Structure 1
Amino acid sequence: MKKRRLWFRLIKRGLIGLLVIVIGLGLFFQTSYAQKLFYPYPYRPIVEKYAVQYGVDPFLVIAVIRAESNFMPQSQSHKGAQGLMQLMPDTAEWIAKSKGDKSFTLEDLKDPEKNIQYGTWYLASLQKEFNNTTLVLAAYNGGRGHVQEWIKTQQLDIDHLRVEDIPFQETRKYVQRVLFYYPKYKALYSTG
Protein backbone atom coordinates (compact mmCIF):
# COMPACT_ATOMS: atom_id res chain seq x y z
CA MET A 1 0.00 0.00 0.00
CA LYS A 2 2.85 2.38 0.85
CA LYS A 3 4.46 1.67 -2.53
CA ARG A 4 1.21 2.46 -4.29
CA ARG A 5 0.86 5.82 -2.46
CA LEU A 6 4.48 6.60 -3.22
CA TRP A 7 3.87 5.93 -6.92
CA PHE A 8 0.80 8.15 -6.92
CA ARG A 9 2.74 10.96 -5.26
CA LEU A 10 5.58 10.63 -7.76
CA ILE A 11 3.16 10.58 -10.69
CA LYS A 12 1.29 13.57 -9.26
CA ARG A 13 4.54 15.53 -8.78
CA GLY A 14 5.68 14.54 -12.27
CA LEU A 15 2.41 15.70 -13.82
CA ILE A 16 2.55 18.98 -11.90
CA GLY A 17 6.15 19.49 -13.03
CA LEU A 18 5.20 18.70 -16.62
CA LEU A 19 2.28 21.12 -16.41
CA VAL A 20 4.59 23.87 -15.11
CA ILE A 21 7.00 23.23 -18.00
CA VAL A 22 4.19 23.28 -20.59
CA ILE A 23 2.76 26.52 -19.19
CA GLY A 24 6.23 28.06 -19.04
CA LEU A 25 6.97 27.10 -22.65
CA GLY A 26 3.57 28.40 -23.72
CA LEU A 27 4.28 31.75 -22.09
CA PHE A 28 7.77 31.86 -23.60
CA PHE A 29 6.50 31.23 -27.13
CA GLN A 30 4.03 34.08 -26.77
CA THR A 31 6.83 36.58 -26.24
CA SER A 32 8.04 38.59 -29.21
CA TYR A 33 11.57 37.22 -28.65
CA ALA A 34 10.39 33.65 -29.17
CA GLN A 35 8.18 34.62 -32.09
CA LYS A 36 11.18 36.27 -33.74
CA LEU A 37 12.85 32.87 -33.68
CA PHE A 38 10.03 31.59 -35.88
CA TYR A 39 9.85 34.77 -37.98
CA PRO A 40 13.44 35.93 -38.42
CA TYR A 41 14.30 39.05 -40.40
CA PRO A 42 17.62 38.35 -42.11
CA TYR A 43 18.92 40.86 -44.66
CA ARG A 44 17.01 43.59 -42.82
CA PRO A 45 19.35 46.49 -43.76
CA ILE A 46 19.21 45.51 -47.44
CA VAL A 47 15.43 45.01 -47.40
CA GLU A 48 14.84 48.35 -45.69
CA LYS A 49 17.26 50.18 -47.99
CA TYR A 50 15.46 49.11 -51.16
CA ALA A 51 11.99 49.23 -49.61
CA VAL A 52 12.54 52.91 -48.83
CA GLN A 53 14.16 53.57 -52.20
CA TYR A 54 11.25 52.05 -54.16
CA GLY A 55 8.36 52.83 -51.81
CA VAL A 56 7.46 49.28 -50.82
CA ASP A 57 6.53 48.13 -47.32
CA PRO A 58 9.63 46.29 -46.01
CA PHE A 59 7.42 43.80 -44.18
CA LEU A 60 5.82 42.83 -47.48
CA VAL A 61 9.29 42.34 -48.98
CA ILE A 62 10.46 40.08 -46.13
CA ALA A 63 7.18 38.13 -46.27
CA VAL A 64 7.76 37.57 -50.00
CA ILE A 65 11.33 36.42 -49.34
CA ARG A 66 10.09 34.03 -46.63
CA ALA A 67 7.47 32.55 -48.97
CA GLU A 68 9.75 32.43 -52.01
CA SER A 69 13.03 31.04 -50.70
CA ASN A 70 12.83 30.75 -46.92
CA PHE A 71 15.90 33.04 -46.83
CA MET A 72 18.16 30.77 -48.90
CA PRO A 73 20.02 32.95 -51.47
CA GLN A 74 21.07 29.99 -53.63
CA SER A 75 17.48 28.77 -54.10
CA GLN A 76 16.30 27.80 -57.54
CA SER A 77 12.77 26.67 -58.40
CA HIS A 78 11.88 23.88 -60.79
CA LYS A 79 10.79 26.61 -63.23
CA GLY A 80 14.15 28.39 -63.03
CA ALA A 81 13.38 31.26 -60.63
CA GLN A 82 16.46 32.13 -58.60
CA GLY A 83 17.65 33.69 -55.39
CA LEU A 84 15.96 35.07 -52.30
CA MET A 85 13.04 36.62 -54.17
CA GLN A 86 12.92 33.88 -56.82
CA LEU A 87 13.25 36.05 -59.89
CA MET A 88 13.00 34.48 -63.32
CA PRO A 89 16.08 35.24 -65.44
CA ASP A 90 14.06 36.95 -68.18
CA THR A 91 12.28 39.13 -65.59
CA ALA A 92 15.63 40.07 -64.04
CA GLU A 93 17.06 40.97 -67.45
CA TRP A 94 13.98 43.13 -68.15
CA ILE A 95 14.45 44.85 -64.78
CA ALA A 96 18.16 45.44 -65.53
CA LYS A 97 17.26 46.96 -68.89
CA SER A 98 14.51 49.12 -67.33
CA LYS A 99 16.93 50.35 -64.66
CA GLY A 100 19.77 50.87 -67.14
CA ASP A 101 21.97 48.38 -65.26
CA LYS A 102 24.44 47.28 -67.96
CA SER A 103 26.62 45.39 -65.47
CA PHE A 104 23.91 42.86 -64.56
CA THR A 105 24.59 39.15 -65.16
CA LEU A 106 22.43 36.16 -64.31
CA GLU A 107 24.99 35.22 -61.62
CA ASP A 108 23.83 38.36 -59.79
CA LEU A 109 20.54 36.61 -59.00
CA LYS A 110 22.37 34.61 -56.31
CA ASP A 111 23.67 37.82 -54.71
CA PRO A 112 21.28 38.75 -51.87
CA GLU A 113 21.67 42.50 -52.37
CA LYS A 114 21.07 42.47 -56.13
CA ASN A 115 18.21 39.97 -55.82
CA ILE A 116 16.47 42.00 -53.12
CA GLN A 117 17.04 45.22 -55.07
CA TYR A 118 15.50 43.77 -58.25
CA GLY A 119 12.69 41.94 -56.46
CA THR A 120 11.73 45.06 -54.52
CA TRP A 121 11.87 47.17 -57.69
CA TYR A 122 9.59 44.62 -59.36
CA LEU A 123 7.12 44.72 -56.44
CA ALA A 124 7.09 48.53 -56.74
CA SER A 125 6.34 48.35 -60.46
CA LEU A 126 3.47 45.94 -59.77
CA GLN A 127 2.14 48.24 -57.03
CA LYS A 128 2.01 51.12 -59.49
CA GLU A 129 0.01 49.02 -61.92
CA PHE A 130 -2.37 47.16 -59.61
CA ASN A 131 -2.50 49.26 -56.41
CA ASN A 132 -3.75 46.25 -54.43
CA THR A 133 -1.56 43.93 -52.35
CA THR A 134 -3.43 40.76 -53.34
CA LEU A 135 -3.16 41.60 -57.06
CA VAL A 136 0.50 42.61 -56.66
CA LEU A 137 1.33 39.26 -55.05
CA ALA A 138 -0.70 37.33 -57.62
CA ALA A 139 1.18 39.13 -60.41
CA TYR A 140 4.53 38.57 -58.70
CA ASN A 141 3.89 34.83 -58.60
CA GLY A 142 1.54 34.12 -61.48
CA GLY A 143 2.64 36.81 -63.90
CA ARG A 144 1.52 40.33 -64.65
CA GLY A 145 -0.13 39.25 -67.90
CA HIS A 146 -2.24 36.59 -66.21
CA VAL A 147 -3.55 39.03 -63.62
CA GLN A 148 -4.37 41.56 -66.35
CA GLU A 149 -6.27 38.82 -68.20
CA TRP A 150 -8.14 37.70 -65.08
CA ILE A 151 -9.29 41.26 -64.49
CA LYS A 152 -10.18 41.82 -68.16
CA THR A 153 -12.23 38.59 -68.37
CA GLN A 154 -13.74 39.28 -64.92
CA GLN A 155 -12.35 36.09 -63.42
CA LEU A 156 -11.24 38.47 -60.67
CA ASP A 157 -13.62 41.18 -59.54
CA ILE A 158 -11.36 43.96 -58.25
CA ASP A 159 -14.28 45.56 -56.40
CA HIS A 160 -14.92 42.36 -54.43
CA LEU A 161 -11.51 40.74 -54.57
CA ARG A 162 -11.07 37.46 -52.71
CA VAL A 163 -7.89 35.40 -52.63
CA GLU A 164 -10.03 32.28 -53.12
CA ASP A 165 -10.98 33.55 -56.60
CA ILE A 166 -7.42 33.51 -57.97
CA PRO A 167 -7.60 31.00 -60.85
CA PHE A 168 -4.16 29.37 -60.42
CA GLN A 169 -4.00 27.14 -57.33
CA GLU A 170 -0.24 27.64 -56.91
CA THR A 171 -0.65 31.42 -57.07
CA ARG A 172 -3.64 31.35 -54.72
CA LYS A 173 -1.65 29.35 -52.12
CA TYR A 174 1.35 31.62 -52.58
CA VAL A 175 -0.73 34.76 -51.97
CA GLN A 176 -2.27 33.15 -48.88
CA ARG A 177 1.21 32.31 -47.52
CA VAL A 178 2.56 35.83 -48.03
CA LEU A 179 -0.59 37.37 -46.54
CA PHE A 180 -0.13 35.06 -43.53
CA TYR A 181 3.49 36.13 -42.98
CA TYR A 182 3.03 39.84 -43.74
CA PRO A 183 1.04 40.88 -40.61
CA LYS A 184 3.26 38.74 -38.39
CA TYR A 185 6.37 40.57 -39.57
CA LYS A 186 4.60 43.91 -39.27
CA ALA A 187 3.53 43.17 -35.68
CA LEU A 188 6.93 41.87 -34.60
CA TYR A 189 9.24 44.38 -36.22
CA SER A 190 7.41 47.67 -36.71
CA THR A 191 8.77 50.45 -34.53
CA GLY A 192 5.91 52.79 -34.02
Structure 2
Amino acid sequence: QLMPKTGKLIARLINRPMKRTSELLNPDRNIQLGSAYLRRMYDKNQHNPVLATASYNAGPHRVKGWLPEQEMSADIWIENIPFDETRKYTSNVLSYAAVFDYQRKQKIKPLSDRMPAVQAKTP
Protein backbone atom coordinates (compact mmCIF):
# COMPACT_ATOMS: atom_id res chain seq x y z
CA GLN A 1 0.00 0.00 0.00
CA LEU A 2 1.21 3.43 -0.90
CA MET A 3 0.12 6.90 0.05
CA PRO A 4 -1.39 8.66 -3.00
CA LYS A 5 1.33 11.33 -3.12
CA THR A 6 4.05 8.66 -2.97
CA GLY A 7 2.29 6.59 -5.61
CA LYS A 8 2.17 9.56 -7.99
CA LEU A 9 5.83 10.37 -7.41
CA ILE A 10 7.01 6.81 -7.99
CA ALA A 11 4.78 6.44 -11.06
CA ARG A 12 6.45 9.51 -12.58
CA LEU A 13 9.93 8.25 -11.67
CA ILE A 14 9.36 4.94 -13.46
CA ASN A 15 7.78 6.72 -16.44
CA ARG A 16 4.36 5.19 -15.80
CA PRO A 17 2.38 8.26 -14.62
CA MET A 18 -0.88 7.75 -12.77
CA LYS A 19 -4.00 9.32 -14.20
CA ARG A 20 -6.01 8.77 -11.01
CA THR A 21 -5.09 7.82 -7.46
CA SER A 22 -7.72 5.07 -7.71
CA GLU A 23 -5.12 3.16 -9.76
CA LEU A 24 -3.55 2.32 -6.40
CA LEU A 25 -6.55 0.08 -5.74
CA ASN A 26 -5.53 -2.13 -8.66
CA PRO A 27 -3.37 -4.91 -7.15
CA ASP A 28 -1.04 -5.19 -10.17
CA ARG A 29 -0.47 -1.44 -10.29
CA ASN A 30 0.01 -1.24 -6.52
CA ILE A 31 2.57 -4.05 -6.60
CA GLN A 32 4.41 -2.37 -9.49
CA LEU A 33 4.61 0.96 -7.68
CA GLY A 34 5.21 -0.54 -4.23
CA SER A 35 8.09 -2.63 -5.56
CA ALA A 36 9.62 0.39 -7.28
CA TYR A 37 9.27 2.41 -4.08
CA LEU A 38 10.87 -0.34 -1.97
CA ARG A 39 13.77 -0.56 -4.46
CA ARG A 40 14.20 3.22 -4.21
CA MET A 41 14.26 3.02 -0.40
CA TYR A 42 16.84 0.22 -0.59
CA ASP A 43 19.06 2.22 -2.97
CA LYS A 44 18.82 5.37 -0.83
CA ASN A 45 19.43 3.62 2.50
CA GLN A 46 22.89 2.04 2.39
CA HIS A 47 21.47 -0.94 0.43
CA ASN A 48 20.33 -2.07 3.85
CA PRO A 49 17.06 -4.05 3.95
CA VAL A 50 16.41 -2.97 7.55
CA LEU A 51 16.56 0.72 6.69
CA ALA A 52 14.64 0.17 3.45
CA THR A 53 11.83 -1.57 5.32
CA ALA A 54 11.61 1.13 7.98
CA SER A 55 11.70 3.83 5.28
CA TYR A 56 8.92 2.13 3.34
CA ASN A 57 6.73 2.35 6.44
CA ALA A 58 7.69 5.63 8.09
CA GLY A 59 9.19 7.57 5.20
CA PRO A 60 12.79 8.15 4.19
CA HIS A 61 13.21 11.50 5.90
CA ARG A 62 12.25 10.11 9.29
CA VAL A 63 14.61 7.16 8.99
CA LYS A 64 17.45 9.47 7.99
CA GLY A 65 16.90 11.29 11.28
CA TRP A 66 17.03 8.02 13.22
CA LEU A 67 20.48 7.00 11.95
CA PRO A 68 22.96 6.48 14.77
CA GLU A 69 26.05 8.56 15.47
CA GLN A 70 28.16 5.42 15.09
CA GLU A 71 27.63 2.02 13.49
CA MET A 72 24.99 -0.01 15.33
CA SER A 73 23.76 -3.58 15.07
CA ALA A 74 20.44 -3.73 13.25
CA ASP A 75 18.55 -5.47 16.06
CA ILE A 76 19.45 -2.68 18.51
CA TRP A 77 18.59 -0.03 15.93
CA ILE A 78 15.17 -1.60 15.30
CA GLU A 79 14.39 -1.71 19.01
CA ASN A 80 15.14 2.02 19.20
CA ILE A 81 12.83 3.10 16.37
CA PRO A 82 10.68 5.75 18.06
CA PHE A 83 7.47 4.86 16.18
CA ASP A 84 5.80 1.77 17.61
CA GLU A 85 4.12 0.92 14.29
CA THR A 86 7.36 1.17 12.31
CA ARG A 87 9.33 -0.79 14.91
CA LYS A 88 6.80 -3.65 14.78
CA TYR A 89 6.45 -3.47 10.99
CA THR A 90 10.21 -3.66 10.41
CA SER A 91 10.64 -6.54 12.84
CA ASN A 92 7.69 -8.45 11.38
CA VAL A 93 8.74 -8.04 7.75
CA LEU A 94 12.22 -9.36 8.47
CA SER A 95 10.88 -12.25 10.56
CA TYR A 96 8.29 -13.26 7.97
CA ALA A 97 10.98 -13.39 5.29
CA ALA A 98 12.30 -16.56 6.97
CA VAL A 99 8.78 -18.00 7.08
CA PHE A 100 8.40 -17.33 3.35
CA ASP A 101 11.71 -19.11 2.70
CA TYR A 102 10.32 -22.14 4.51
CA GLN A 103 6.99 -22.03 2.68
CA ARG A 104 8.76 -21.84 -0.68
CA LYS A 105 10.94 -24.77 0.39
CA GLN A 106 14.05 -22.62 0.06
CA LYS A 107 17.07 -22.63 2.30
CA ILE A 108 16.12 -20.57 5.31
CA LYS A 109 18.37 -17.55 5.61
CA PRO A 110 19.06 -16.75 9.27
CA LEU A 111 17.56 -13.50 10.48
CA SER A 112 21.01 -12.25 11.44
CA ASP A 113 22.07 -12.56 7.78
CA ARG A 114 19.16 -10.34 6.75
CA MET A 115 20.17 -7.58 9.13
CA PRO A 116 23.43 -5.85 8.24
CA ALA A 117 24.69 -3.24 10.68
CA VAL A 118 23.24 0.23 10.38
CA GLN A 119 25.97 2.64 9.37
CA ALA A 120 26.41 5.98 11.08
CA LYS A 121 24.76 9.05 9.63
CA THR A 122 26.96 11.10 7.38
CA PRO A 123 27.51 14.77 8.16
TM-score for the superposition, normalised by structure 1? 0.50
The residue number in structure 1 matching 2:60 is 144
Structure 1: where are the runs of 5+ without partners?
A: 1-85
The residue number in structure 2 matching 1:105 is 20
The residue number in structure 2 matching 1:127 is 42
Give the count of matched residue pairs: 104
Amino acid at match of 2:82: P
Secondary structure of 2:72's partner?
A: helix
Q: CA RMSD in A?
A: 1.8
Alignment match of 2:101 (pick from 183, 186, 189): 186
The residue number in structure 2 matching 1:160 is 73
**1:169 paired to 2:84:** yes
Structure 2: where are the runs of 5+ without partners?
A: 108-123
Point out the structure with max Rg over C-alpha. Answer: 1
Separation of aligned partners in 2, 1:134 and 1:103: 29
| Larger helix proportion of the pair | 1
Shift, 1:177, TM fit: 1.5
CA 1:182/1:150 → structure 2, altered by over 3 Å: closer, same or farther? same
Tell me, yes or no, if the aligned pair for 1:87 and 1:109 is still in contact at 8 Å: yes
CA 1:90/1:103 → structure 2, altered by over 3 Å: closer, same or farther? closer
Identity across aligned pairs (percent)? 34
**Deviations 1:21-73 (CA, angstroms, capped at 9, x unpaired):** xxxxxxxxxxxxxxxxxxxxxxxxxxxxxxxxxxxxxxxxxxxxxxxxxxxxx
Secondary structure of 2:39's partner?
A: helix
Shift, 1:150, TM fit: 1.1
**Higher relative contact order by CA 8 Å / sep ≥ 6: 1 or 2?**
2
CA 1:158/1:114 → structure 2, altered by over 3 Å: closer, same or farther? farther
Secondary structure of 1:159's partner?
A: coil
Shift, 1:190, TM fit: 5.0
CA 1:94/1:158 → structure 2, altered by over 3 Å: closer, same or farther? farther
TM-score for the superposition, normalised by structure 2? 0.75
